[in-house]
Amino acid sequence: MKKLAEMFWNIRGVYRVAGVLDIGTHMSLVKRGNGRFVLVDGCDPDAEQRDAMLALTGGGELVDAVVHVHPFHTLHVEATQRLFPDATLFGTARHREKAPTMPWSGAPVEEWGDDHPLADVFDLSVPDGVQFVTRDERVHVASVLVRHRQSRIVHVDDTLNVMAAPGILRPLLPQSSLRMHPMLSRALTPVAGAADAYAAWARGLAARWADTPTVCAAHSAVRDLPPGGFTREMEAALDKVAGTLKRHRERYG
């Protein structure tokens, strides 16, 4: 559990592909102005991290809400709710589909507007031009991106990637800059204009969130950025998928 700003903590968890390669996952804890907390996502923290979270939040009693923002990150929903049983639970439509007995509140997160239930702490963004949930469940491109207003830190699952070497190699090899999800081509909506809509969303986000100092990415690292770095890396990431977007335009018009 790492404190990244005065009112923002990121907790890294283990997620192994094929039971072997740990690509990591995460959740973030944010303190509200009233001294209470909101948890973004869920993972399987180790005992030390779990104890630290509970100590900070009065045994969990100070956690107002838990919000799950990636439709395919569902493994730890029930365990996280058991840890914070009194918290109001928010999630996407797919979370509700996969865990229908959970006490979900309000509308699905991907449908929230500017006056959403956590508007006092977060700005949100959902990428345009892509299917939020695809038929191919291996495609995890879309999610609700979360930006903590006070610290300007961004919490993101899969939509933006930061690649880092695993295990003991991580301190020795540089992490990547921000990248778009490698399966973007499979997520773009198969209609004319989708590629342009996605590019416009990315450029708009790069401008609106230009002063972001840190991006917490689920897989597999936290990226600290210099002034202007978020805009530059978002634009560079968009350039790297230019071929994908071009092929989509050629096919769908």
Candidate from 71-80, 96-105, 121-130 with smallest mean pLDDT:
71-80
d(CA 80, CA 122): 20
Residue 211 phi, psi dihedral angles, 5° rounding: -90, 20
Query: Is the pLDDT higher at 171 or at 160?
Result: 160
What burial class does residue 16 get, using C-beta atoms within 10 Å of its C-beta: 0-12 exposed, 13-18 middle, 19+ buried? Answer: exposed
The yes-or-no verdict on residue 23 having pLDDT over 60 is no
For the chain, give the mean pLDDT.
91
DSSP string across 113-165: -TT-TTTTTEEEE--SSB-SS-SSTT------EEEETTT--EEESSSEE----
Sign of the dihedral through C-alpha 45, 173, 161, 19: negative
d(CA 124, CA 149): 10
The yes-or-no verdict on residue 164 having pLDDT over 70 is no
Cβ-based neighbours of 51, under 8 Å, separated by 6 or more? none
Q: What is the pLDDT of residue 76?
A: 84
Residue spans of the domains in the chain: they are 2-252
Closest CA to 149 of 182, 120, 187, 111: 120
Place of tokens 């009693």: 61
Give this prediction's pTM: 0.91
Candidate from 43-47, 69-73, 152-156 with smallest mean pLDDT:
43-47
The yes-or-no verdict on residue 51 having pLDDT over 80 is yes
| C-alpha dist (Å) from residue 34 to 6, 101, 121 | 14, 30, 11
The yes-or-no verdict on residue 127 having pLDDT over 60 is yes
Structure tokens at 88: 């109001």
- Band (pLDDT 50/70/90 cuts) for residue 158 is confident
Q: What is the pLDDT of residue 123?
A: 98
Q: What is the pLDDT of residue 180?
A: 95
Q: What is the pLDDT of residue 122?
A: 97
Query: What CATH class has 2-252?
Result: alpha beta
Tens-place pLDDT, residues 168-218: 555 555 667 899 999 999 999 999 999 999 999 999 999 999 999 999 987
- Band (pLDDT 50/70/90 cuts) for residue 18 is very low
d(CA 251, CA 222): 36
d(CA 107, CA 170): 39
Residues above pLDDT 90, as percent of the chain: 77
